Every structure is written in C-alpha cells, then in structure tokens.
C-alpha cells in the first residue's frame, strides 16, 4: 500500500473527503501526513478530528526530510497555496498531483471559479494534473466539464465545482494507487 501525504492551506474539504475514504478503506493508501503552511487554516481542525498527523511548516527542507522519513510515494495538493520549487518537484518526480477548479490551461492561478464566471465562460470544470515546476501546468490526469447555465449564480457554480472535485480527486488517486497512470510526453495514458 502506498504512503500518501496531503498538502493544504485553507478549508480542507478535499482533504476531509480523501481522509474519510481512506479510513473507510475505499481508497487503498496510508494517509501518513497533512502538510500545512498556515497555522490558522481550518484544515488543521479537520485533521485533528480525523486523527491525521500534521506538519505545519513553510520550509521545504523540513518538509522533504519528513516526507522521505515517512516514505511518501504520493503527494496530493488540495488547496495548497504555495508554488513548490523546482528542487522539491524533482525530488518527487511524477509523484505530486494537484486539483484545479477550472479546465486547464484556462484560468490558471487563484480565484479561477470566479474568473471563469465573470469572463462569461459557458463551460468550466475541474482538472486533476501531475505537478511540474510551472504553476497549474503539468500533464492532465482527469478533467470534467460543468456548464454555466443561464442565470446560474456564482455560489451555485462554486458548489457544483466543489461537488465535482470531491468525486474526481478520489478517482485520480485511485488510478494512481492502482498504477494505471502512464506518462507519454505530457499525455497521461490511463491503462
Ligand atoms: C479547491 O477548489 C481546489 O481546486 C483549489 O483550492 C480549493 C481547495 O478547497 N486548488 P478545499 O480546501 O479542499 O475545501
């Protein structure tokens, strides 16, 4: 079974969904650690409740040392608001995945749900991708669209995006744990 670490900076709804699935053996992994860069983040309260160990740090060297010690083979970024350095990424090549609340390469960066909404996009969605040294850039694992219907409020769109995230991220993690993701250049082949 693979050892997994989740990185989060804020609310932690994706963290909670993934942690619960692991606890209920619906995902075949050991959740070893939550790494959080913000001591005030709500995700820390969730981790305490779910009895997941936490590392609160902004220092990559400290984090890498801990991850190596724990033999982590998958890092799941779930609302982690910090860009990982080239050095960090090369330490965990093709072992870091991220979730983005838009259809990449559209609306990279922060505040993507609102930006897609304000832009007047008719379609947006969720992307799960491998992480490389550029922001929101690595090979796409899964992607699913949501239509922005006429008169849909931003609140409603946000709710729909988060609902989809909570379904799609576990699917991507499952594919990884089953070793079904193969890279061919920047294409991810699902076997
Ligand atoms: C999600 O929308 C994710 O796509 C983005 O940050 C948000 C984190 O939400 N990267 P939560 O902290 O998991 O509730």
Phi, psi dihedrals of residue 128, rounded to the nearest 5°: -115, 130
Output the pLDDT for position 12: 98
Q: Which region, left, alpha or beta, applies to residue 94 given φ > 0 means left and ψ of -120 to 50 means alpha?
A: left
Cβ neighbours around 86 below 10 Å, total: 11
List, in order, residues 6 or more apart from 163 with CB less than 8 Å away. Answer: none
DSSP structural state of residue 85:
P
Output the pLDDT for position 184: 97
pTM, full prediction: 0.98
Output the pLDDT for position 160: 98
Question: Whole-angstrom Cα distance, residue 136 to residue 128?
Answer: 10
Residue nearest to atom 8 of ligand 1 (CA): 79
Paired residues of 147 in beta bridges:
123
Output the pLDDT for position 190: 98
Residues belonging to the active site: 100
Q: Which atom of ligand 1 is nearest to the CA of 15?
A: 13
Question: Whole-angstrom Cα distance, residue 170 to residue 31?
Answer: 13
Residue nearest to atom 10 of ligand 1 (CA): 79
Residue nearest to atom 7 of ligand 1 (CA): 79
Q: For strands 29-36 and 2-8, give the pairing.
A: parallel
Residue nearest to atom 2 of ligand 1 (CA): 101
Output the pLDDT for position 132: 96
Centre of ligand 1 from the C-alpha of residue 157, in Å: 14
Centre of ligand 1 from the C-alpha of residue 185, in Å: 27
DSSP structural state of residue 84:
P
Q: Are 95 and 111 in contact (CB under 8 A)?
A: no
Output the pLDDT for position 95: 98
* Ligand 1, CB within 6 Å, residue ranges: 8, 10-15, 78-79, 99-101, 165
- Digits of tens for pLDDT over the chain (191 positions)? 999 999 999 999 999 999 999 999 999 999 999 999 999 999 999 999 999 999 999 999 999 999 999 999 999 999 999 999 999 999 999 999 999 999 999 999 999 999 999 999 999 999 999 999 999 999 999 999 999 999 999 999 999 999 999 999 999 999 999 999 999 999 999 99
Q: Are 136 and 108 in contact (CB under 8 A)?
A: yes
Read out DSSP for 23-58?
A: HTTSS-EEEEEEEES-TT-THHHHHHHTT--EEE--
Centre of ligand 1 from the C-alpha of residue 78, in Å: 6
Question: Whole-angstrom Cα distance, residue 76 to residue 21?
Answer: 14
Output the pLDDT for position 96: 98
Q: Are 78 and 169 in contact (CB under 8 A)?
A: yes
Centre of ligand 1 from the C-alpha of residue 161, in Å: 10
């Amino acid at each position: 079974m693979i050892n997994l670490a989740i990185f989060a900076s804020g609310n932690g709804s994706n963290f909670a969904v993934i942690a619960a699935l692991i606890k209920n053996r619906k995902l075949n992994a050991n959740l070893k650690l939550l790494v959080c860069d913000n001591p005030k983040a709500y995700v820390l309260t969730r981790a305490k409740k779910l009895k997941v160990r936490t590392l609160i740090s902004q220092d990559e060297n400290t984090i890498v040392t801990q991850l190596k010690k724990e033999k982590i083979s998958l890092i799941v970024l779930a609302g982690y608001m910090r860009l990982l350095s080239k050095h960090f990424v090369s330490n965990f090549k093709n072992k870091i995945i991220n979730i983005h609340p838009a259809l990449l390469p559209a609306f990279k960066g922060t505040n993507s749900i609102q930006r897609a909404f304000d832009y007047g996009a008719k379609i947006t969605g969720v992307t799960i991708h491998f992480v490389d040294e550029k922001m929101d850039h690595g090979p796409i694992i899964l992607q699913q669209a949501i239509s922005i219907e006429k008169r849909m409020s931003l609140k409603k769109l946000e709710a729909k995006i988060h609902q989809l995230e909570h379904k799609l991220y576990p699917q991507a993690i499952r594919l990884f744990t089953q070793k079904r993701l193969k890279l061919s250049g920047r294409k991810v082949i699902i076997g």
